[in-house]
Chains A and B, each alone.
Chain A
Amino acid sequence: MALLEIKNLCVSVDDKPILRGVDLTVNPGEVHAIMGPNGSGKSTLAQVLAGHDAYTITDGSVKFRGKDLLDLSASERAGEGMFLAFQYPVEIPGVSNTYFLRAAYNAVREYRGEPPLDPVAFINYLKSKMHIVGMDQAMLKRSVNAGFSGGEKKRNEIFQLTVLEPVLAVLDETDSGLDIDALRVVSDGVNAMRSPDRAFVVITHYQRLLEYIVPDVVHVLVDGRIVRSGGKELALELEDKGYGWLEEGSAESLVAAGARR
């Protein structure tokens, strides 16, 4: 069974259509990259999957592990194993990383009918995860993302991923604002989490991230539709030629349309 099955997903914000019929199927163990120009709807797709309520679903369906995802609240989706690494992680002064992670981890356990971990057991569990993205104790004690650098925030997102162990992780432009060292740390963290049971949807502008997190499938999202899908070599082609040749009304697409006629 597919892990995620998106059919004809149409989404509007303030009556303006953003996604105009997206189809996407993700199987366990796969890594899908979604690329596309600014404003093509990539981040909207990520936020709709995570359950952000600023969007209106006008058509289509999303099945996640066989359940209707769109019927679930944001916290229920997380309980089912959905994880969104935010493009802009939110600062929460006054709530320590450790506290936040334990609240999230135990909320997810409760959703699954499992008993909560006590503080000591949880700290031990956290410690077993810290090496994956090089978290230190000091960062755990600090308030969630408060005063973190851009790189630290993205690293913290991936740290949360390693702690919460989702079955589907959507990474929304996790590479934006990262220098090459931070990109490597974040990518290593993601690669360490790859497994036959877990899938990733990696949203990015740039091919560079995909050198580190090698995708099985690359999709190109233009104007709210997936206009092309292919293997990892498609990302290289996009790096070379840009997105123009895939956009509606471009010279190449007109030539192709003419040839078909």
Chain B
Amino acid sequence: MTNETRDGVGTTSVVRGSTPRTTTTPAGDRFLADFAALSRANGHAPAWLNERRIAAAARFEAVGLPTTRQEAWRKTNVQPIAQVVFANAPAMAADSAVATAAAAALDRLALLALDGHRLVFVNGVFDAARSHVGALPAGVRVGTLEQAWREGDAAVAAHYGRHADGDDAPFAAINTALAHDGAVIVVPDGVAVEAPIHVVFACASGETAVAHHPRVLVVAGVGSRVTVIESYGGLVAGDVYLTNAVSEVVVAEGAEVDHTKRQLESEAAFHMGGMHVVQTGASRYVNHNVALGGRIVRNEIAIRIDASGCDTLLHGLYMGHGQQHIDNHTMLDHLKSGCHSFELYKGVLDGRATAVFTGRIKVHQDAQQTDAVQENRCLLLADTATVNTQPQLEIFADDVKCTHGASVGELDETQLTYLKARGIPPAAAHGILTYAYANEIIERIPIELVRDELEGLIRGRVRETQQLGD
């Protein structure tokens, strides 16, 4: 095994107020221009929402887009995002030509065959025709944020924007300021929603680059159970757009939440994603984070483990090729005693792809008997691919078990030898082993159809896939 590190996409820092190459307006001001327009358009929003939006806009104005001078962004340069002028995404949804051309891609992304509930948003606008919410147990809300705001849902008012918006989260601030709709899932105490809930955020930018700001809120009550899948994807290959997504998940005592993210953006798109989870009682939260698309990708997953006896599992797979840059930033914040967290992230990089993995685990003084396991592995299929992996353990309690491991390497020679000795040609043997490596993450996803579809996409990514059959 060799360990290899290198700078990310570049180390040029963005100086706020300087003049980017393709526009004369600083990025921050442009996002705020959007904000002003949206504020006018959303006059019916409840007062608390407007307050949080204004506060978020102010927060973003104060911090601006991150630069590589900031430790958390040292390896991911978002200057290419600042250099694109993004149109207001919702306006594009009315363009029926774009919608028609992308319909087939949308059907694939939306997994129409999946038996469950489905909320579809295209360029940020709710697509009622493609959405489907079946019979639900009493009190369960699966719908749009816009409707929940209008109806004055107390759970939404209590939690929306309460978990994602830290001072160090500029993209989350942009989202809170600009998100005008999204998905909300509220499961009352003691209720199990058996069928999976699939939330789809598609983007088609057409002639002009667009930005959309997907938003999800999941509130799982005491003793409840729910399975949520978020899918992100571009509908036209090569489309340039920005997905700036924020999800907030609240997991109460005794609740079980299984949460999958399928990220299948266009390979020219930017994806900034934040998932902010809080476990408020002894509960189980499982996250599967699969990133296959995007040109510059950032996933921030922050879990506040704020009760004793929690189980938290993070599974991640990222596959990059070409010029893709994929940055996973995870944070497990162990605040209380007797919790178990397990984190396994695997990467497969080819071409000139770059990746970053930063795995923070903070064990506070009160979090005695914490058992935290973190492992990050990355497979480099080309000499030109690079990964930068960094575990960050901060432990303030004295009776804890924390292990972490990181490995960067190539395929196992003895396994290749074995496959070849059975007649499998070298290229196919590479393909089989790469697929098996990635599949260790996919096979943990509980929904078979989601697994099968991702397996198909991964097979397509792996060289010499014809040997993989079916």
Interface residues of A (CB under 8 A from B): 50-53, 73-75, 77-79, 84, 86, 89-90, 92-95, 99-100, 102-108, 111, 119, 143, 160, 164
Contacts and interface: CB of A to CB of B under 8 A. Distances in A.
A103 B424 contact: yes
B411 to A, nearest CB: 11
A51 B415 contact: no
A149 B90 CA distance: 59
A105 B428 CA distance: 13
Contacts of A111: 423
Given A103-B432, A103-B468, A119-B469, 18 more contacts: A74-B420, A75-B422, A77-B421, A86-B418, A90-B415, A90-B417, A92-B415, A92-B419, A92-B436, A93-B436, A94-B443, A103-B467, A103-B469, A104-B424, A111-B423, A119-B470, A160-B422, A164-B422
A92 B435 CA distance: 12
Contacts of B460: none
Interface in B390-432: 414-415, 417-426, 428-429, 432
A78 B423 contact: yes
B433 interface: yes
Contacts of B419: 92, 100, 103-104
Contacts of A77: 421
A158 to B, nearest CB: 13
Contact of B417 (A52, A79, A102, A107): A52
A92 B433 contact: yes
A99 B429 CA distance: 12
A90 B436 contact: no
Contacts of A143: 436
Contacts of B414: 90
B323 interface: no
Contacts of A99: 469
Interface string B429-453: 1001101110110010000000000
A104 B433 contact: no
Interface string B43-85: 0000000000000000000000000000000000000000000
Given A93-B436, A95-B436, A74 B421 contact: yes
Contacts of B468: 103
Interface string B232-253: 0000000000000000000000
B421 A50 contact: yes
A77 B433 CA distance: 21
A92 B418 contact: yes
Given A92-B415, A95-B436, A103 B428 contact: yes
A94 B443 CA distance: 9
Contact of A107 (B415, B425, B440, B443): B425
A51 B414 CA distance: 13
A94 B439 contact: yes
B439 to A, nearest CB: 5
27 contacts: A53-B417, A73-B420, A74-B421, A75-B423, A75-B424, A75-B425, A75-B426, A75-B429, A78-B422, A79-B423, A90-B418, A92-B419, A93-B436, A94-B435, A94-B437, A94-B440, A95-B436, A100-B419, A100-B422, A103-B432, A103-B469, A104-B422, A104-B424, A107-B428, A107-B467, A119-B469, A160-B422
A75 B427 CA distance: 11
Nearest to B468: A103
A51 B420 contact: yes
Nearest to A81: B423
Contact of B421 (A84, A94, A102, A119): A84
Nearest to A82: B421
A214 to B, nearest CB: 27
A93 B423 contact: no
B10 to A, nearest CB: 35
Nearest to B426: A75
A150 to B, nearest CB: 16
B418 A107 contact: no
A95 B421 contact: no
A81 to B, nearest CB: 10
A91 to B, nearest CB: 8
B130 to A, nearest CB: 33
Contacts of A164: 422-423
A54 to B, nearest CB: 9
Contacts of B432: 95, 100, 103
A100 B418 CA distance: 11
Q: Which of B422, B423, B437 has most A Cβ within 10 Å?
A: B423
A124 B399 CA distance: 56
A108 to B, nearest CB: 4
A51 B421 contact: yes
Contacts of A105: 423
Contacts of A53: 417
A107 B436 contact: no
A116 B239 CA distance: 39
A102 B422 contact: no
Report, nearest first, the 7 A-B pairs whose CB atoms are least far apart.
Answer: A94-B436, A78-B423, A104-B422, A90-B418, A74-B420, A108-B423, A107-B423
A155 to B, nearest CB: 16
A104 B423 contact: yes
B465 to A, nearest CB: 12
B377 to A, nearest CB: 12
B298 to A, nearest CB: 28
Contacts of B440: 93-94
A233 B14 CA distance: 83
A127 B49 CA distance: 64
A89 B424 CA distance: 16
Contacts of A75: 420-426, 429
A230 B16 CA distance: 87
A77 to B, nearest CB: 8
A92 B434 CA distance: 11
Contacts of A119: 469-470
Q: Which of A102, A103, A106, A164 has most B Cβ within 10 Å?
A: A103
Interface string B298-310: 0000000000000
A101 to B, nearest CB: 8
A107 B424 contact: yes
Nearest to B423: A78
A52 B416 CA distance: 11
A100 B435 CA distance: 12
